[in-house]
Structure 1
Amino acid sequence: MPKYRLEQAEKERFAVYQVIYADADIEMWYDWNTRLKDTQFSDQCYWILCDEVRIGGAIINDGTVMYPFLIAPFADRTVFWRALFNCSHDIKHINGVLQQDVSILLAFGYKLGVIRQVMCCPADDSVTAVLPDGFSVRSLDKTTDINTIARIIMEGYAGGIDNETYGIPDEAKATADVQHLMKVYEHRNFSLYVFDEQEQAIAGLCIAGIYEKMPLGVAEIGDLCVLPKYRNIRLAEAMLNYVRATAHEYSQVVKLCVTVGNEAENLYRKVGFYPGPRFANMSKRNEFAGFHSL
């Protein structure tokens, strides 16, 4: 019978192995050094050994597994997970699960949570943001009423997949989230809203910018929504193109992260965003807690 064990790894060497063998750049960094730094926030890096041979590795911290990978030529993903669970019996959460591992982990008693993917496109000042007549673009900054912005986001997201997945926030939570995002992007703010000149009302908004500590200085879109009465007149497309054009002076890339199943993904693709690998978070089903079939 195979003997499995964990061996703590030196995190710099672990990072090299993880980048080479992880089989996915889920954050779409396209950069060796940035990907190395992704795992170096933690000393809880472990090799997974089968009969004293390294077959993979993972960060294992406080019941959560992150950044799992197999080491070539080993390729049996079921045995890899069996070995990990045999060595660590209190795994409750697994983050960044690749699609090829989902069915394996379901068989081990884990349930599927949200599935996400990062999408990227080039920032490009030749892109034109075209709005229908009677609409204008205005800057969204600290002078904009934060409570109004929160209410717009709540109405724009109502009935969508993110509310289904994460729950419906109350106004206080929505306001706090907006304040947080605006603080994150104050270093380089590209946020905007589309204004209906006839109705004198906000039709949609986009919170975007560059976080001061963002690797590679990449621009991000944190929130995008259009109120239901203003949909299907290409306001979201115009806002995305506006951010792409505005960001070009400061960043080569614009990124966002989308929940798989969100209809907005089709829009992002239409505008030119390219999807990275899909990844999921999974957690242990209560009825199977503490049990792993070996």
Structure 2
Amino acid sequence: MNDNTAYSLVAANQTSYAKYFATYRKNIWFRPSWASLQEMMLDASNCYWIYRDNKRVGAISLTSSELGSFFMIPPSTLTVDMVNFLKNYAIPNSGDQSKVEAYNVLAEHINVLKSAGFEVLDTRKCMIRPTEKLEHDLHADFISIKPKLVHLPSIVQVMNESYRGGMDEGNLDTYRNDVSYYFEHNRQDELLNASSVLVDKKTNEVVGFCLISMWEDMPLVYDISVKPGFSNQGLGGYMLYKAISHLEGFSPTIRLFVTIGNKADYLYTKLGFLSGEESSHLVYRDRAEK
């Protein structure tokens, strides 16, 4: 791959790659079993073994200018020269000759990538909690209704207002696409009944929502948000308690993702969600781009 280095990449057989991934990649997202980790990767593509001096030392998912979910095979460890090899391999194969992104980077690999010129864009973690029947009243000024496609514009508006200026800020098209995708792929009554759209009785305004989806055969909080002017009224807690309660008997657990630094992290912990390990999204830009 690169005649000036001892490193090389070899396309991996999916079955073999899945077995190694399930064994050596940390289960940071609370996947339910070793078997589920292996099964998830059986359909993975663009997977490669990393060789150093003709010895297999790790593996990576590599697509154009993206490095994803790499892991090392003991006793090998990630090094700066290995990251530089991967970076320099990816750049010529991408449409952007100046940028490489690295996804789902484990905490122990952050400093190595930073030493190779990468910078952290954001860090997330998965959280998990058992489902159970819980009592939690909704403020008398609001009602909770089942989400429907007709609520899409109102949900997008809540996202636009609540995420503005924050670490999860996007644009209207992104919000619309995310909500549209949710309604297209999550039509089970169990999920929609566990979800919420909160309406202000006085104004008939949608002020918050919580959408519950399925991810890898387990419920996931797809998105949850409350308009800024309606915070500190227990609305977020109510929607989560409702989801936890409605899913009892349907699934033993519920998961969510949170960006590190998001103040909602405190609420999730307060409601009994357990934090998993962190993973980060990093980017390398050459000097001209910086």
Amino acid at match of 2:139: P
In structure 1, which of residues 29, 44, 59 is the aligned counterpart of residue 31 of structure 2? 29
- Measured in 1, the distance between the counterparts of 2:43 and 2:288 equals 31
- Measured in 1, the distance between the counterparts of 2:177 and 2:69 equals 30
Matched, 1:137 2:144: yes
Using structure 1 for the length normalisation, give the TM-score.
Answer: 0.84
Amino acid at match of 1:7: V
Return 5+ residue gaps in structure 1 as ranges: 290-294
Written as runs of structure 1 = structure 2, the 5 A alignment for 1:35-74 is: 35-74=37-76
Amino acid at match of 2:274: Y
Using structure 2 for the length normalisation, give the TM-score.
Answer: 0.85
Alignment-derived partner of residue 227 in structure 1:
227
Matched, 1:250 2:250: yes
Residue-by-residue CA offset, 1:138-159 (whole Å, 9 max, x unaligned): 21223x4322222122222223
Matched, 1:215 2:216: yes
Return 5+ residue gaps in structure 2 as ranges: 94-99
- Measured in 1, the distance between the counterparts of 2:86 and 2:208 equals 47
Distance 1:282 1:204, change over 3 A: same
- Do 1:18 and 1:67's aligned partners in 2 also have CA atoms closer than 8 Å? no
- Measured in 2, the distance between the counterparts of 1:9 and 1:111 equals 28
Percent same amino acid at aligned positions?
23
In structure 2, which of residues 15, 24, 32 is the aligned counterpart of residue 12 of structure 1? 15
Offset of residue 28 of structure 1: 1.8
Written as runs of structure 1 = structure 2, the 5 A alignment for 1:111-130 is: 111-124=119-132, 126-130=133-137
Offset of residue 173 of structure 1: 4.5
Residue-by-residue CA offset, 1:219-253 (whole Å, 9 max, x unaligned): 11111111222211211011100011112232222
- Measured in 2, the distance between the counterparts of 1:246 and 1:274 equals 19
Residue-by-residue CA offset, 1:58-98 (whole Å, 9 max, x unaligned): 12222322221111122354454356457666482221111
Residue-by-residue CA offset, 1:95-137 (whole Å, 9 max, x unaligned): 111112112111212222221111111121x222222233332
- Do 2:78 and 2:109's aligned partners in 1 also have CA atoms closer than 8 Å? no
Alignment root-mean-square deviation, CA: 2.5
- Measured in 2, the distance between the counterparts of 1:160 and 1:85 equals 30
Written as runs of structure 1 = structure 2, the 5 A alignment for 1:94-243 is: 94-124=102-132, 126-142=133-149, 144-163=150-169, 167=170, 169-170=171-172, 172-187=173-188, 188-189=191-192, 190-210=194-214, 214-216=215-217, 218-243=218-243
Q: Match of 1:81, SS?
A: helix
Aligned length, in residue pairs? 277
- Measured in 1, the distance between the counterparts of 2:161 and 2:87 equals 43
